Amino acid sequence: MVLSTELYVEHRDMALVPTIRALPEATIRVVSDAGTDPHHDVHYFRIEAPDFDDVEAALADDHTVASHSVIFAEEHRRIYCIEYSDEVNLVTPAITEIGGLTLESRSESNGWILEVQFEDHDALYALNEYASRHGIQLDVIRLDHTAKTYDRRDYGLTEPQREALLAAYVNGYYDDPRRISLEELTEYLDISPTAASGRLRRASARLVEEVLVEAPERQ
């Protein structure tokens, strides 16, 4: 059995919490598994807001943010590449250390809602103890037992395929016009152009097969 939970976590030094508190009308989500830049410790966030001048001002004043840049922009939605400051207080590394899996992170009130899977109740107790030691408010909103692990909506993608697709997306490979070439993407992923092209092609085919192609009815 797997323990599926929805947690609310809050701390003034938690990543982007000052921005969340300054922008009550905005919604902020972590872009999961967007790939790891081999040269920088950066993280990706999707922010939906009515006014991005306010977002820029909030990020500039946020003591948990060392630097930020826009890598994708629409009228009311942007994806930011953010580097944390040394003052940030993170809870997700503790979740990983005790064997938990963070499936989704989204802003809520003055903190974050996390969807997390644990192997058992002991891991959840361990996280609660960690939160208490570090002054982090932690509230359990939902607690379910499931028979198998959540598939993270991978649709049969391999980890290299997922990484290639998300890296291409967040870096503008699918924009019109493109903001990154295939050659630049291969440097980002540290693989050959042939390998990158193959991963994107196979991943796209898998998504079409899993999402758009209906399975034939059983006779």
Give pLDDT tens digits along the chain (219 positions).
688 899 999 999 999 999 999 999 999 999 865 443 444 468 999 999 999 999 999 999 999 999 999 988 888 999 999 999 999 999 999 999 998 989 899 999 999 999 999 988 899 999 999 999 999 999 999 988 765 544 555 666 777 888 888 888 877 888 888 888 888 888 878 888 888 888 888 888 877 777 666 544 434
Please report whether residue 151 resides in a domain: no
- Residue-level pLDDT at 42: 83
Q: Is the domain of 35 the same as that of 74?
A: yes
Burial class (CB in 10 A: 0-12, 13-18, 19+), 198: middle
Please report whether residue 217 resides in a domain: no
The whole-angstrom separation of Cα 16 and Cα 82 is 10
Domain count, the chain: 3
| b/e burial code for range 161-173 (CB count within 10 A of at least 16 → b) | bbbbbbbbbbbbb
Phi first, then psi: give them for residue 32, nearest 5 degrees: -75, 145
- Residue-level pLDDT at 84: 95
Please report whether residue 154 resides in a domain: no
Return the percent helix, strand and coil in the chain, to nearest 5: 35, 30, 35
Q: Is the domain of 206 the same as that of 175?
A: yes
- Residue-level pLDDT at 168: 85
Q: Is the domain of 181 the same as that of 206?
A: yes
Please report whether residue 219 resides in a domain: no
Q: Is the domain of 79 the same as that of 24?
A: yes
- Residue-level pLDDT at 213: 63
- Residue-level pLDDT at 64: 97
The token pair at 162 is: 């997922």
Whether 12 and 134 have beta carbons less than 8 Å apart is answered as no
Please report whether residue 175 resides in a domain: yes
Q: Which residue segment(s) compose the domain that 45 sits in?
A: 17-84
* Global confidence as pTM: 0.67
Please report whether residue 53 resides in a domain: yes
Q: Following CA atoms 37, 41, 42, 43 in sequence, which dihedral angle do they give, to the nearest 10 degrees?
A: 100
- Residue-level pLDDT at 38: 40
Q: Is the domain of 123 the same as that of 167?
A: no
Burial class (CB in 10 A: 0-12, 13-18, 19+), 82: buried
Please report whether residue 153 resides in a domain: no
- Residue-level pLDDT at 1: 65
The H or E element that residue 81 is part of is strand 77-84
Q: Is the domain of 63 the same as that of 25?
A: yes
Pairing of strands 137-146, 101-108: unpaired
- Residue-level pLDDT at 60: 98
Q: Is the domain of 22 the same as that of 80?
A: yes
Q: Look at residues 88, 133, 129 and name the one whose alpha carbon lies nearest to residue 112.
A: 88
Whether 41 and 55 have beta carbons less than 8 Å apart is answered as no
Please report whether residue 22 resides in a domain: yes
- Residue-level pLDDT at 116: 93
Is the four-CA dihedral 170, 174, 176, 181 of positive or negative sign?
positive
Q: Is the domain of 132 the same as that of 168?
A: no
